[in-house]
Structure formats: C-alpha cells, structure tokens
A and B are shown apart, each in its own frame.
Chain A
Amino acid sequence: MTDWVLIVDDEAMIRENLKAYLEDEGWRVAAFESVAPALGWLRNGDPCRVCIMDMRLPDMDGNSAIRTLRQIYPDLEFLIHTGSSGYSLPEDLRAMGLDDSRVYHKPLADMAPLAAAARRLAMREDSP
C-alpha cells in the first residue's frame, strides 16, 4: 500500500485541516491549491492511489480534472469533496466507476468517514 493521498482544494484551511487529519491518521499527504501543480507533483513524485478533489478550482473544474488525471493515471481513485450542494456526478464519471458514495459535501463536521473511505480505496487498490 502506498500511503500517499493527493488533495486538490483551493481553500487553504480546508486543505490544511484535511492534511493535518489524514497525517494524524498515518497518511502522507500532498496538497495543492490547483490542478496544475498537482499534475506536476504526480509526474515527479511518489506513486499515489487516492485523490481528494474539490470541484471549484482556479484553473479548471473538478470533473475535468478527474477526467484528465484518470486518463494519465488510470489507477488513481477519487473522492469528491465539494462545497456546492447541487453537485451531482456526471454520467462519464459514473462510467469510470465513481458513485454517490464518493461524494462528500462541505462542510464536513467529522472527517473520519472521508478518511475511512480513502483507506478503503487504498486497500482495494492493493487487493486485486
């Protein structure tokens, strides 16, 4: 199991809090405010299997970012952490195997479920 989690969120405090919580849970966390640096890190950095993606990002929207990243890293799994309540998964993302259980609405009063989901995804990635 790789213990890297990638976080893309433009809200610094969200990013920092998630990072802090997951680090406390034993993860190594890479957090970026936009897609471009995240791509750069992925290109150079350690292998990462789980990405927590915000939807409203400065350089592109989360859905497109997922499509782009999935294309380059087919093994990367996504959890969506969005502040827009009306968010629903586009069909093509569903076709990639994402479902409503991957969507987490802000604000998260408790980050434990999100961390657990990330762990499940990392474990699953190992099992096949």
Chain B
Amino acid sequence: MSAPSSSSTPPIPAVPRRRGWSRSFYWGLALAVVIGAATVTVLDPLPYYETLLDHWFDPARWEPEVFTAMLHYILWLLVWLGVVAVAALLWSWLLRRQVTQRTRQLLRELHERQQVEVALRESEARFRDVTEAASDWIWEMNERLRFTHLSERFYALTGIAPHHVLGRARWEIGAADSAADLERWRQHRELLEQHLPFRDFVYQTRLSGNHNAGRYLKVSGKPIYDVQGRFLGYRGTGTDITEQIRAETALRESELRLRRIIDLVPHMIFAKDRNGRFLLANSATAKAIGVTVDDLVQHPHPIVHSVAEETERMLADDREVIDSGIPKLIAEETFTDHAGQTRTLQTIKIPFIEPGLNETAVLGVAIDITEQRRAKEEVARMRLYLKNIIDSMPSVLIGVDPWGYITVLNQPAEQAGGMSWEAAQGRFFGDVFPQLEGQFEQVRQAIRLGRPIKTPRMTLDIQGELHYADVMVYPLMADSASGAVIRMDDITARVRIESMMVQTEKMLSVGGLAAGMAHEINNPLGAILQGSQNILRRVAPDMPQNRAVADAIGIDLDQLHRYLEQRQVLRFLEGIREAGARAAKIVADMLSFSRRSESRFALVNLEEMLETVLRLAASDYDLKKKYDFKRIAIERDYDPALRFVSCDKTEIEQVILNLLKNAAQAMAEEGTPAPVITLRTRREPEHALIEVVDNGPGMDDKTLKRVFEPFFTTKDVGAGTGLGLSVSYFIVTEQHNGRLSVLSKPGQGARFSIRLPLSREAPP
C-alpha cells in the first residue's frame, strides 16, 4: 500500500566514488603516447637533449647552436605540450560526456531505487497490516529468548504493563496449573532453545492487568538469524484467544450439558439423515441397540440394527418425515432390542435442518411403551375377563349411574332388554327395562344408604307370562364413580320348584298322616282284597272244596257260577278288587313321601339293577294292557367306568321303573313308529349319571315346567295318579341328595337324567 508522498522526487543521492578509469580515458592516453612517440621520432629530440646537457653542464661548450638547440628543445616541449593539451581536451570531452551519461544513469538508478524503496515500504506496511490483522501483535525475542519488543496492541489487549514482559521469557509470564501444562511448557522451552520455529502455541498468562483471570494467548514464531547465520532471537505474532477459548469452553460445556441431558432422558433420542445415518443418539438409543453412542453416531441405521423389517419401516418413516417436512407420530411400533426382546415404542419424528449440513434430517424421540402396552393389554384382558364373568352370570346385571343412566349391561341383561350394551349405554334404565322402572327409588336409596336394597319375588309380566324375579340394587362404592348395579334374577323356575316343594311338603305331611293311618287303611283294604280273592276262589266251580260243600248242601255249583256271571256278580267283585288295588297303590305312593327313618343304602351294581328293572317293566302287570314293552327297542349305553352306585336299591328301581313306564306309555299313546328307549350311564366327576332317553312325543315347555309337580298328569283320569314323577323326584333329591332333571322338546323325545352323588354324604 503506497503512500501518496512516495510519488514526489526524492533528493538526489551523492555520486558514489568510483574506483579506476573509464575505457575512453585509456583510449585517450594511448593516443597521446602514440602521437608523442611519432613526434619524438620525427624531431629526434635526443641530440638536442645531449647538446643541452652539454651546454648546461659544460659551459665551455656554450655555442650559438646552443640557442638553436634550445629553440628546438623548446619547440619539442611545445609540441609535447600541444599533444598533451589536445589529449587533455579530448579526454576532458570524453570525460564530460561520460559524466553526463553516468549522471543520467545514476539519476535513473536513483529514481528506480526510490521506487523500489517506496514499493518496499508499501509492501512492508502491507505486510505489517496483514500481520497485525492476522494476529493481534508482533513480538520479538533476543537470543536469550527474552522479550525485546511487543506491539502496543499486546499491552492494550492483555492489560499487562510492558515492564512485566520486556526482558522476561515467555514461561515467566505463563501459568502452569497442571502437570500437562508443565509438560507443554517444557516442550515449548526445548523447542525455543533448539531455535526451531513453532506455530499456535497456546498458553494462559499468569499476569493479568485489569482482568482477573489470565488471558489465553496463541503465539507463533520463527527464529531470526543474521547474515553470518548467527541466532539473533525470535520474531513472531500473537493473538489473544481468551474470548474464543471462553466461547469454545462455553460451547463445550453447553454441548456437554445437552449431552448429559439427553443421556439422562430414559427415552430414545436420535437424529438421522436422509440416508439413515445417525447424526445424534443418546445413550438410551445406543443401549437399546446394544452399541455405544460413538459406535452409533455416523453409522447408518441398517448396520447397527439388524432386524431388517423393522429397519426398513423406520427408515421409510424417516424419509416420509424428511420429504413431507411434517412431524409424524407413530403411536405404536415394534422394535427388537439387542437382547432380542420385542419392545413397543411410541415414536415422534420431527424434521429439522441439520446445522452445517443444510439438509433436512429427522429428529426422533421414541418412548418405550412396552410396559404401558402390557399394562393396557392386561387391563383389556382383565376387562374382557370381567366382562366374561359378568356375562356368564345368569343374573341380569345393569350398571347405572346415580341418575339411572345405564353404564353397563351383561349378556343376560342385553337379552332381557333386547338391546346391546353399546346401544343401551347412556339411556335411562327404565326405558330399556320398563318392568324395572319402579326400582329407581331403590337405586337412589341404595346409593344414599350405601347398602344393598332387595326387592324379593317381584312379579313381572314377560310376554304375557307371569315371572318372578328377585331384584337387588347394590351401591357401587368406587372412589371415582358412584352408581349402582341392579341385579335381577328370574326365579320363576325356583318359585315353581318351591311351590312344588311346598306341595311336596304337603304331600309329606299327607304321607306322614298316611303312614300313621296306613295300618288302619291297609287292614280294611286287606280285608277287601283278600275277601274278594277268597270269594272269587270259593265260587269257582273247579275247586274241590267248593264242590264238596255244594254237594253236601245240594246245590249245583256250575249253575250258581252261571248265575253269578249272568248277574255280573263276578264283574262287580272284580271291580271291588281293582278299586281296592288302586286305593292300595295310592296309599303306597303317598307313603313314599314319608321320610323313612332308615334307608337301606348299599353299593349296588348299576347294570344289574337296570337289567332287573327292564325285566320288571317287561312283565309289568298294569301296563301290559296298554302297550307291549317287547315292541320297544332297548339300547344300552353303559359306562364301563361306572359299576357301583351307593343307593337304596328298591327306591332307585322304583324311580327307573317309573321313568321306563312313562316313556313306554307316552310312546304307545302317540304311536311312535320305532320306539326306542336308551338306558345310559356315565361316570361324572361327582355323580353317577343314569339317563332314560326315549324317542317319543316329548313335552312342551309348560308340561316340562310342571312335570315333577305332585298330582300333575297328562294321562287320562284314572290312568295315573300324577304322583310317579314327583315321588321319583323326591326319592332322588331328598333321599339320595341327587338331582333329577329332564330335557325335552315336542316331537323330540325326552331325556330324564338321574344324578346320584358318587361319594355319598350321610343321607337325610
């Protein structure tokens, strides 16, 4: 950078002294010698010379010719002088010319030198400017490595006074706090002592001016030598990098803090570029993948995570976010960690511009929701489980809030209300279950009092049929949701059974009465029956005793018999006998209801017993009139695992016989084309099952419901007492602690199932 002043003419420098002569000078001298020699030769001055010498040194020899010789000599001298003058003139001219030329040259040289100097100065200034711009200051050291010079800027920047620095070595102003620092200083000092150049040596000053802490300085230097190659010291530049160091430290700390923070976060935080390379990852991410953070960063996703399918999906998501520039929430995705365990992640991916790359990358935060998901699944499973439980309850369960709006229905409730849970939710329960509308008061009361309210045996009209129900309203005491559960149990069947049992109880008392009266009743019945038998026997003509008596009193027995026949006496007698037999049967049935103080329980071979009953049925006296048991195909389906049953043999025989007779009668009445009775036994965990299955007309619902009721009969009046099945029911349930049930549909036969406990408790 040249200053404007450099263009003015610089002062003419002094002409340098010359050593030797110029060439023209020698030429002139040579010419003069040649001319002189020629003149001498022409004039031959020597004789004159000798004459002169003689004259002067031999006065005797003073002669006139001497004057001539003298003239000659003078002339010779003049010639010489002329020659010299001409030579001098010539030389002078030559000289002047040379001087002019030389001056001109010098002037030119001078000007050039001036220009060079200006350029040099400019260059120097430029260099200094550049140097000072590149660095803060310039420093110089002497050969003893002591500072000799520092730019002003050094003092201004560091605030250190010159007298603290000048004459000191660098290590005298530098701080060394740690072993590493000491080592650095030692190396630096060694380097300087070896007179080697150095670059970018950073140190902190021990001294400080107005600043509390030492300044960070960065210096570079080169050794300087004189022409003889003698070490003169160092010269170099320095920069105050305190601010830079502080900024860097702050940045590093900030980065470190950020690092720590993201490493502390238990969720996976990562950033990836378009190619799936990790730009950033926290330790949670690295841990999940099973590598270190350093291994993860700068590596592409597929290399570090080996489950190809997951990787592809994740990369596709990354690209989607990068391409669209819209964050994406992946509510659930699977991820197989390094241990091979599948985890569920909830991930949000956000596009961002990676600083320095100027390219969109994706930042992801993935939260491991495996546990939550498991918990959620567990909750769902539990919910389903509870729903299954409440659905499997036979009771109608209706959950309502305090205002009577439906919150929950179980399956029986859905059926009863004719509406699904979803549809019924939020509706007033009285609208869905009109028959329960009146329970709203109980709901409020139950919630208010905090205890269940029961409405037993409520009568309901369901499709024109009278039903009974127990209704319980339970308050719900969960801390958040109050409300109530209405539980309704259709107890129609139970009520019916109960009423049946009431009747049975009545029968029992009748039975008790009958037992008390049995003797009194049976004796006259005995008299009637036995008397009838005796009468019939004693009027029979073929009995020898009769004939003997008849002969003795002189009457004809055959005539008498004909008379009795014609007057229907014998038929009446038969009628008396049958009536007596029927009365005896009724009494016997009724007596069955009386609880026997002593039942004879024994282990009975079931198959044998069934065969016995079958034989009894086939030869049944009463029933032969109505049907032919032999026409019925008997199928035996006996469980070989069930051989012995503990029971009162005669009683159970009676029950089975009764069932067989009923089945046979029903099939005979209906004219079932191929009547089949199946006798089946099965060993159940707790019970011995004996089934009597027929393929007869079956029963409708109404009959089915009343089939065990005493005195209920579908048979013609007089054909049955209506006690058979109720007695059977009594024997099985009361005396054997078992169960007697029936399954039937019209036209599909009937199946009676007797279940006797296998391990019998003490019989009642």
Contact = CB atoms under 8 A, between A and B. Distances in A.
Interface of A: 11, 13-14, 17-18, 20-21, 24, 55-56, 82-86, 88, 105-111
Contact of A24 (B524, B530, B537, B580): B537
Given A24-B545, A109-B529, A11 B523 contact: yes
Contact of A14 (B520, B526, B543, B577): B526
B526 A106 contact: yes
A20 B577 CA distance: 17
Contacts of B459: none
Contacts of B538: 20, 24
A86 B591 contact: yes
Interface of B: 515, 518-531, 533-534, 537-538, 543, 545, 577, 580-581, 584, 587-588, 591, 594, 596-598, 600
Contacts of A17: 526-527, 530-531, 533-534
B515 A86 contact: yes
Contacts, number: 91
B537 A21 contact: yes
Given A13-B523, A24-B534, A56-B519, 15 more contacts: A11-B527, A13-B524, A13-B530, A17-B526, A20-B538, A21-B530, A21-B534, A83-B526, A84-B522, A86-B515, A86-B518, A107-B528, A108-B529, A109-B533, A111-B533
Nearest to A13: B527
Contact of A83 (B518, B530, B534, B597): B518
A109 B584 contact: yes
30 contacts: A11-B527, A13-B523, A13-B526, A13-B531, A14-B526, A17-B533, A20-B538, A24-B534, A55-B519, A82-B519, A83-B520, A83-B521, A83-B526, A85-B522, A85-B587, A85-B588, A86-B515, A86-B518, A86-B596, A88-B600, A105-B588, A106-B523, A106-B525, A107-B528, A107-B529, A107-B580, A107-B584, A108-B530, A109-B533, A111-B533
A11 B526 contact: yes
Contacts of B522: 83-85, 105-107
Contacts of A110: 533
A61 B519 CA distance: 13
B529 A83 contact: no
Given A24-B537, A24-B543, A109-B580, A84 B529 contact: no
Contacts of B591: 85-86
Contacts of B518: 83-86
| Residue from A21, A56, A109 whose CB has the most chain B CB atoms within 10 Å | A109
A21 B526 contact: no
Contacts of A109: 529, 533, 577, 580-581, 584
Given A85-B588, A86-B594, A18 B519 contact: no
Contacts of B587: 85
Q: Which 9 A-B pairs have the closest CB atoms?
A: A13-B527, A17-B530, A107-B526, A83-B522, A83-B519, A107-B525, A106-B522, A85-B591, A106-B526
A8 B57 CA distance: 239
A19 B157 CA distance: 155
Contact of B530 (A14, A84, A86, A105): A14
A44 B518 CA distance: 35
B534 A20 contact: yes
Nearest to B530: A17
B624 to A, nearest CB: 16
Contacts of B527: 11, 13-14, 17, 107
